[in-house]
Structure 1
Amino acid sequence: MSEALVDEIEAINSIYGDNTLVQLQDAAHQENTYILTLPSPSDNLNDDAPSSSSSLRIQFSPAYPDKPPSILGTHSLGGHAKRGAAARELELFRAAVGDVFEPGQVCLFDAVERVKELLLSEADADAGVEADYNEEGVEIAPQKQEQEEEPPWVLSDPVVELKSTFIARCAKVSSPAQAARYVQHLLSTDKRVRSATHNMTAWRIRGEGGASFQDCDDDGETAAGGRLLHLMQLMDLWDTMVVVTRWYGGQKLGPRRFALINQAARDAFVKAGLVAETGTGAGATRKKAHGK
């Protein structure tokens, strides 16, 4: 098993929960076959929501991540699944892997996030219009439900070291109030982020009339927010915010953690097209920033 795959398994299980990605213990199947339980989009919104009812069998070539994983099919279907849900998730995940895979870069995190976005979009489309009826029971003009402003996050690849996992999100913002709303939206709608060890933030905003605003929040990781803000200053980034989430892996990283926090943040900035690419590495969990 490659080091990149080991790190990816740790990252996936740190972010989405233990046993999200596990090796299939079945002699009838070829080795390097894993079971991925896709997190349900509703998991972001409700601590009591059930996890995805279907899981997928994935086989990794010894050459992974130079070669893409093979999506063999569904593995199981739980009692809460709607008819065709597992087949739909399988179809979406295969398409997502095809879209995000780049030789030399692990791809499961990006593929999972892509599927979650598509499933949420489909759920919003189903729930966004409510039928109304008059006293005679005749349907009248439907009304769209108002929705909260959805932050346009661009995510970094996971960075893993000693089982700690870091992911950065950046977004364009035009006011400190908007930046604060984006942070609140993230914490209120994603329980994995909300339950993470730290969510460090920084933002820099140019206001009208020559005014400017910049601020940061360590969220318990002393000096981390200030270092993120300094990184943004060095990159001359404006009208942008970043949130770096850390899931602690049980082993202290010392000062090395600040380099990993900045690495994740920079990767998000590069993916968002805010700074130029400076290099790539062997895998998403240890590579330098790159664009798509």
Structure 2
Amino acid sequence: MAASDTGRAQQQIDEIEALSSIYGEDWCVVDEDEKIYCIKISDCLDQPKWTLCLQVILPPGYPTEEPPIYQLNAPWLRGQDYTELANSLEEIYLQNLGESILYLWVEKIREVLIEKAQSSEPEPDIKKTSEEVDEDDGEDFLLDYEPIQEDPIKMLNYMTSESQEDEELPPIHHGNPITDRRSTFQAHLAPVVTTRQVKRVLEKLYENKKIASATHNIYAYRIYCEDKQTFLQDCEDDGETAAGGRLLHLMQILNVHNVLVVVSRWYGGILLGPDRFKHINNCARNVLVEYDYVPSVEESSRQAGKSKKIRKDNKKRTEH
């Protein structure tokens, strides 16, 4: 496999794991080998009126050279509704050529469903819908790489100057732990605006004997440099191969910045396979939601609905 093919394959893996973490049970794997996935999207979480299933197939050239192959499934979706939504998705693809776009597609579809729910359109007839899909649980994955730990703080030394003034230590927050088959995962979060603050937070965390004894302390951070209008970002696997990159990709998709997230894993002796990445991302997302860096899916739906209502009200005033 060529290097470019390997890179695209890894981009696909990272995107799918991030989406699985964001959307939970609404995201499912139809066929892992064929790269077929499905997500159930609705206008709200409690009592949805409008629901749609987006099924995608990721070709080998996605995201850099080929778009996803997709199908929109809903009994009410036909004619002009289908055409308008399909055009919107294709426009998003063209505006983001070469980039991962599934998250943008899902949120665009949710926005359309919220708009329909707030309009005077009658609710769709959903009696005939059937969404039976089998989820691939990944039990055939047998390897769980556990190499010797290295101190991740050393990785930051080249980026920081010891001669510069000490940065104030930001507040550090701790998320709720997740335990699976004797392995425990816990996320820690701190607001940061410089790499020196990142280093200080990591040093402070390592003063805690329990955190220092973790099998892995995976981290990623994103800092927005306003003067250059660019992001300063980096990640560290700490021996859990590719975990740092997956964590950073999740933060990019969620568009969080000026924050450091560390996920500690205490290995319990039982191999978890790809579930370990799911737990790392879920811990990270939960702590970002808890400390208001990311709205929950429910809050996101409410905000999208509110902004739609404001735009519609403004349009009515303009027309009158």
- TM-score w.r.t. structure 1 length? 0.43
Q: Which has the higher strand share?
A: 1
Q: Which has the higher helix share?
A: 2
Q: Which has the higher contact order (CA 8 A, sep 6+)?
A: 2
Which one has a bigger Cα radius of gyration? 2
- TM-score w.r.t. structure 2 length? 0.40
